[in-house]
Structure 1
């Protein structure tokens, strides 16, 4: 079941004129996507779960049932409308993970307005950028970020018409809870699906790209995009359950997803995807505001968590933390990692140490839906990010010519799907014709990878991160995987730095394990040199650091490492000759 394609599956792969496979599609049936308002559809789905717990605060234990959500979302929507928020307006939502976040988001989308979801860890300048891109005129914010929001209002005066605060009461702004408890608008429900409402064009959610290479871009996702995501998850879950029954697997997806611990930021697409999984099976999301070691393990134990989404640097932490011995996490059935590549060695080691299954997913904010996913014993292969998911097509192209490449040959991963974004906000023409899309509606992902003959997708690295050494293409990920095997290494990031002799040279940044002897730069260089050819040696040097910069979802900010290196080299020029790499 893990690898081979049935004859029916083979038909899902299209061949080029050259006679080799150039496109891969899911074998799972893809019924039509509902042509409706996202929030109204989700509320109807949630109503099927009635009084089951849906949202729980990991710290306080406060919770809402599915019935609570179905009652509160229309109420909040009505009160937003009574306050002046209109269909088509943009409402900024800035909050750490909390049980109010999904209610606010759904209420905004039900109106239907656009929910502009932003990180609560942004600086005032970064939020100004978000405000300008998202064109928000209203805001729902957590009390923890109110000070930053108020600074933004001085930088952009007369922009926000009202700010509702989640948390303690504010003297200067109304409470979000007032929207949940009272109903001032008698003419409920609003006509969310009138003749002018177009689910394929109306922006339901604006999320922001990771921002590893500069200012974040506002990714516009329509009601249709997000409904495609929901349908993808629904039919993927059904398919997995059918395959499990056929093979005698004991746990259904509803069993595995019954209690999900969610510290992945809700403003990020990864969390949006996970929330869809939970809703489909009628599970419960236990919300953590941010990750902290003791809080994580305490929540696993206290709430008998069955499923936990993580990111690679958290996976690395879990491999080495002694806290594992202090808590009972026997309820945990599976972890899932996404947002960045997870080394196969880490995946194997974590499965053993945590005594649970390990899944992996691959996607982009721009694709909205998951591109590929693994399920142990159903869809999995060592080193692969999984099979192509429903409602998507994948092809591998030569970066220079955009020609489709055969199985096993490496190129850029392109994706096509009704889930792919409308475009980037405030990019001229992006709404009608997304500038990021190629002819035929294909989205270049910027990732280097390949598909094998069985339809499994493998990701090598980001194209922009590849290091060009004397004409050779060197993958930082390959070097990072090697360095992680060195005793005493906790985290590592490799970048390319300018070299007069080589063009570019690999340079490693290493975070040592606390409490263990720190390996020297020479030891690390020698370790790589003994295992890889000369053009992959660390000619750019090794630097031991306390931490590697990351964004809010855990992606390494390699741009920042490069900028810091270039600034340091520029400063050296006044003190001595330039470095000879």
Structure 2
């Protein structure tokens, strides 16, 4: 399988098989190249306020100087960043990287217990936090190595009069900012002022230096920090930018960034790939406010948007979305979870743009496979391995799975985007990266003769009904196409006769939807053993911070109920 790499034959015309990993030594040199080319172009937009690339250069330089000269942080020290999409985010992460330090991205929705674990595990020396989560930070800090805290309010970089107004509304009207106290915390704007005027040394950042500790596995156990080096992220930026480049117009792109930048998908796709294109990132701080999100979209001349299936589905079901001007939209990229056919087809119908599915993991920075940009319609595949990437399928004994295109095995990956390993966890690293250097993804897949890969499911999510494998994705895909169904998740539950049977959790679009209608629809579309024995209606499904449905949590709730 590996020798012929059948996917090359399906590559779009002119697509190179390899990327130039040496073009940039670090993310910082890629940033500097963009600043040189696009200095006066807008880089970030949030609440109507624009930062140009020149502003980003100046402000991230001030942050870097503050971290080096005021806090005296030494090369490689970890700095945690806990905030949603706002202007402070890019200033912080690029400042940290320019200072030769490592960014620890933190999900702001973490509890104090989860935050404490991540700060303690990473050994972070400093934390930059937005006031909305200051109370969580204050509870989490004791017992960690954090010596310095920089705090900020959401409106702090928005200027007058908008900034103070946003801060007033959030604190006093919406009550979204709790009172908290952290001794010695410095305000973000004060930190920038302290860094101003101090020279920023020219650091020789090495390709193998850790750029990000990107935590993963929080939904499957204790969160582990994937060590993503400058080389890993630069490589993935190169791989993805070459791949989507046919749709991009450097210096003219306007991308909607609704997925949080602390998540690996948006971090690489929106922040880095579109930085290379000199794009404007329009930051959506709270995409859960779908009405407000659609209002933002209606004013934005956007050319690209990334998202997960639940985000696209949510937009499609929000009044007014179909009235948005999609005339400039050239690229819609879906990842993070399986894109459902019903959602992809409706997206094409409403926007005129094909929803192109991609696949990746935190451990691969993240892109592994992306569908060709010239794809006419949704094809159910995760696409082709991107340049300089090898993929194969292995069985439980580590042997290559070969043969017909229906053969299923665990998807394994090799390439310059594969992480260095898990932070301080060589045992966990050895579980996922084998002796031959293959990263085992935990996803079961098949490959067709053209080299397109199809995820059949997570290894651990597979349901075994009387010895037959049932893949939840298939059941969910079928039900997502049923009129009256808004969202659906399928899990296996114990059964005395079959070992396991399928149970589905449905958020109905039609309040009159019945269990019998669901079962009748499944009888028409699924083999007997795949049909759900149990149907439960819910008002919402448990999700991760980026909107990925948590089957594990549904299984846990089932076990608790039993």
Do the two structures share a fold, i.e. TM-score over 0.5? yes
Say if 1:429 and 1:215 are closer, same or farther in 2 by CA, change over 3 A. closer
Task: Name the counterpart of 1:87.
Answer: 75
C-alpha separation between the residues in 1 aligned to 2:446 and 2:326?
37
Task: Name the counterpart of 2:394.
Answer: 397
Shift of 1:97: 0.4
Could you tell me which of 417, 425, 430 is aligned with 2:415? 417
2:245 aligned with 1:233? no
C-alpha separation between the residues in 2 aligned to 1:429 and 1:214?
15
Task: Name the counterpart of 1:62.
Answer: 49
Task: Name the counterpart of 2:451.
Answer: 455
Shift of 1:376: 4.3
Task: Name the counterpart of 2:301.
Answer: 304
Task: Name the counterpart of 2:257.
Answer: 262
Superimposed CA distance per residue, residues 458-494 of structure 1 (whole angstroms, 9 cap, x where no aligned partner): 1111111110111110011111112123221110000
Shift of 1:327: 4.4
Aligned length: 529
Q: Please, which runs of 5 or more residues in structure 2 have no aligned partner?
A: 157-180
Task: Name the counterpart of 1:112.
Answer: 100
Superimposed CA distance per residue, residues 491-550 of structure 1 (whole angstroms, 9 cap, x where no aligned partner): 00000011121111110001011xx333222221232123322211212x1111111100
C-alpha separation between the residues in 1 aligned to 2:490 and 2:378?
26
Shift of 1:48: 1.0
Task: Name the counterpart of 1:77.
Answer: 64
C-alpha separation between the residues in 2 aligned to 1:552 and 1:361?
19
Task: Name the counterpart of 1:526.
Answer: 520
Contact persistence 2:8–2:17 (CA under 8 A) = no
Contact persistence 2:344–2:354 (CA under 8 A) = no
Could you tell me which of 199, 223, 228 is aligned with 2:207? 199
Superimposed CA distance per residue, residues 411-467 of structure 1 (whole angstroms, 9 cap, x where no aligned partner): 11111011111111231467xx65420122111111111222212121111111110
Task: Name the counterpart of 2:553.
Answer: 560
Aligned residue for 1:254, secondary structure, equals coil
C-alpha separation between the residues in 2 aligned to 1:127 and 1:32?
34
Say if 1:24 and 1:444 are closer, same or farther in 2 by CA, change over 3 A. farther
Question: Normalising by the residue count of structure 1, what TM-score does the alignment of the two structures yield?
Answer: 0.85
Superimposed CA distance per residue, residues 187-239 of structure 1 (whole angstroms, 9 cap, x where no aligned partner): x332521xxx6422x2110112253322322111011111111221343244x
Could you tell me which of 171, 180, 190 is aligned with 1:178? 190
Contact persistence 2:341–2:380 (CA under 8 A) = yes
Say if 1:24 and 1:134 are closer, same or farther in 2 by CA, change over 3 A. farther
Task: Name the counterpart of 1:246.
Answer: none
C-alpha separation between the residues in 2 aligned to 1:428 and 1:443?
14
Say if 1:257 and 1:495 are closer, same or farther in 2 by CA, change over 3 A. farther
Aligned residue for 1:98, secondary structure, equals coil
Shift of 1:87: 0.8
Say if 1:428 and 1:459 are closer, same or farther in 2 by CA, change over 3 A. closer
2:290 aligned with 1:273? no
Could you tell me which of 148, 165, 179 is aligned with 2:136? 148
Task: Name the counterpart of 2:167.
Answer: none
Superimposed CA distance per residue, residues 258-289 of structure 1 (whole angstroms, 9 cap, x where no aligned partner): 11111101111111122222112111001111
2:528 aligned with 1:546? no
Shift of 1:354: 2.3
2:22 aligned with 1:37? no
2:228 aligned with 1:221? yes
C-alpha separation between the residues in 1 aligned to 2:499 and 2:291?
45
Aligned residue for 2:450, secondary structure, equals coil
Contact persistence 1:23–1:393 (CA under 8 A) = no
Aligned residue for 2:379, secondary structure, equals coil
Say if 1:44 and 1:530 are closer, same or farther in 2 by CA, change over 3 A. closer
Task: Name the counterpart of 1:127.
Answer: 115
Say if 1:463 and 1:507 are closer, same or farther in 2 by CA, change over 3 A. same
C-alpha separation between the residues in 2 aligned to 1:234 and 1:325?
29
Aligned residue for 2:541, secondary structure, equals coil
Say if 1:545 and 1:364 are closer, same or farther in 2 by CA, change over 3 A. same
In the TM superposition, what are the counterparts of 1:456-475 in structure 2 within 5 Å? 456-475=452-471
Say if 1:436 and 1:347 are closer, same or farther in 2 by CA, change over 3 A. same
Q: Please, which runs of 5 or more residues in structure 1 have no aligned partner?
A: 1-11, 242-251, 570-581
Contact persistence 1:261–1:299 (CA under 8 A) = no
Question: Normalising by the residue count of structure 2, what TM-score does the alignment of the two structures yield?
Answer: 0.88
Task: Name the counterpart of 2:169.
Answer: none
Superimposed CA distance per residue, residues 15-63 of structure 1 (whole angstroms, 9 cap, x where no aligned partner): 59xxx99999985332243473322332233321110000010x2x111
C-alpha separation between the residues in 2 aligned to 1:568 and 1:99?
44
Aligned residue for 2:214, secondary structure, equals strand
Task: Name the counterpart of 2:163.
Answer: none
C-alpha separation between the residues in 1 aligned to 2:276 and 2:224?
30
Aligned residue for 1:530, secondary structure, equals helix
Say if 1:434 and 1:77 are closer, same or farther in 2 by CA, change over 3 A. farther
Aligned residue for 2:320, secondary structure, equals helix
Aligned residue for 1:221, secondary structure, equals strand
C-alpha separation between the residues in 2 aligned to 1:215 and 1:257?
42
